Amino acid sequence: MKSRIMSFFVENDLKNLLGWFGIDYTKAQKNRIRSSIIITVLVLIFGIFSSKLYLSLISPLIGLFYYKNQYLSIKKKKKNMIALKRRMFPSFIKKLLILLRTNNIYNSLIKMVDYTDEPIKSYLKELINEIDKDKSVKPFSNFANKMEFIEAYQVMTMLYTFSEHSMNRKHLVSLENMISQLYENEIDEVIEQKKRLLWLYPNFTILTMLAMIFSLAIYMFISIFAEVSF
């Protein structure tokens, strides 16, 4: 029981989550606790002045919910950001491959800055700056690391190989095939998500109707029982 209470207040991955967004952990926690206390006090005061005792009683729970919701929100934000990068990456590489037909890898990356949206645009600028200082595969690996999925490592490694052997077109063909497969996988995943949503909505409607019917049945039972008792 004690460990569950501790896990509610102390999220082991929160520091890494905040670091991922470049947010200071200590400062964020102070603001989080402060805002949760303010919410609790405001609900408590409102409950007292509006003569709604139940609001005053549940004000600590509302504060705790607000406290926990901040963690869940940033966790969801990271998940959505990773999904966004995964969707953007195949399109980014497809455009880059077009430029590679008439440019070397470095010039292609520079030209891609104007055709790339955030968050990949920032990563691309960092990649170019790193290449200026380091001609090894490391800048490409760092870029792939920010994408946070395994296929990105394979693609960026092949791009580096192509930059080192620019006259060898077989690397470009292999890269095009890999991106095409990755793009198809993303499309299939989107389709599956749509299917799951289509399945979920009707079932959610059915469950809502069942809940309403069940509530109505309980109400009728209580009413009949009250009349019989009377």
Phi and psi, residue 167, nearest 5°: -85, -10
Assess whether 153 and 184 both reside in one domain: yes
155 and 89 inside one domain = yes
Q: Verify that 55 and 122 share a domain, yes or no.
A: no
**Close Cβ partners of 215 (under 8 Å, ≥ 6 residues apart):** none
Answer yes or no: is 201 within a domain: no
Mean pLDDT, residues 179-193: 58
pLDDT at 230 over 50: no
Decide if 134 is inside a domain.
yes
Q: Are residues 61 and 95 in the same domain?
A: no
Residue 219 counted as domain residue? no
Token pair recorded at residue 24: 């200071």
Beta-carbon-side half-sphere exposure of residue 175 (alpha carbons within 13 Å): 28
Structure tokens at 163: 């930059």
CA distance 59 to 218: 29
Residues 90 and 175 in one domain: yes
Looking at the domain assignment, is residue 208 inside a domain? Answer: no
Residue 142, pLDDT score: 93
User: Domain ends where: 65, 81, 97?
Assistant: 81
74 and 120 housed in the same domain: no
Rounded CA gap, 73 and 69, in Å? 6
Cα 109 to its chain centre, rounded Å, is 26
Assess if residue 123 is contained within a domain: yes
Query: Are the beta carbons of 36 and 59 closer than 8 angstroms?
Result: no
Query: Each residue of 108-167: pLDDT tens digit?
Result: 999 999 989 999 999 999 999 999 999 889 999 999 999 888 888 888 888 888 777 655
Report pLDDT for 186: 57
Flag whether 103 is in a domain: yes
Q: Tell me, yes or no, whether 105 lies in a domain.
A: yes
18 and 99 together in one domain: no
Residues 68 and 144 in one domain: no
The residue out of 48, 81, 114 marking a domain boundary is: 81
| Judgement on whether residues 154 and 169 belong to the same structural domain of the protein | yes
Q: What is the pTM of this model?
A: 0.66
Q: Is the domain of 69 the same as that of 144?
A: no
Give a yes or no: residue 41 inside a domain.
yes
181 plus 113 within the same structural domain = yes
Share of the chain above pLDDT 90, in %: 22
Cα(210)–Cα(2) distance, rounded to whole angstroms?
37
- Residue 61: left (phi > 0), alpha (psi -120 to 50), or beta? alpha
- Note down the domain range covering 45: 2-81
Domain count, the chain: 2
Say if residue 50 is in the same domain as residue 124: no
Helix, strand, or coil here: 117? coil
Write the pLDDT tens digit of every residue in 31-80.
Answer: 999 999 999 999 889 888 887 787 788 888 888 988 999 999 999 898 88
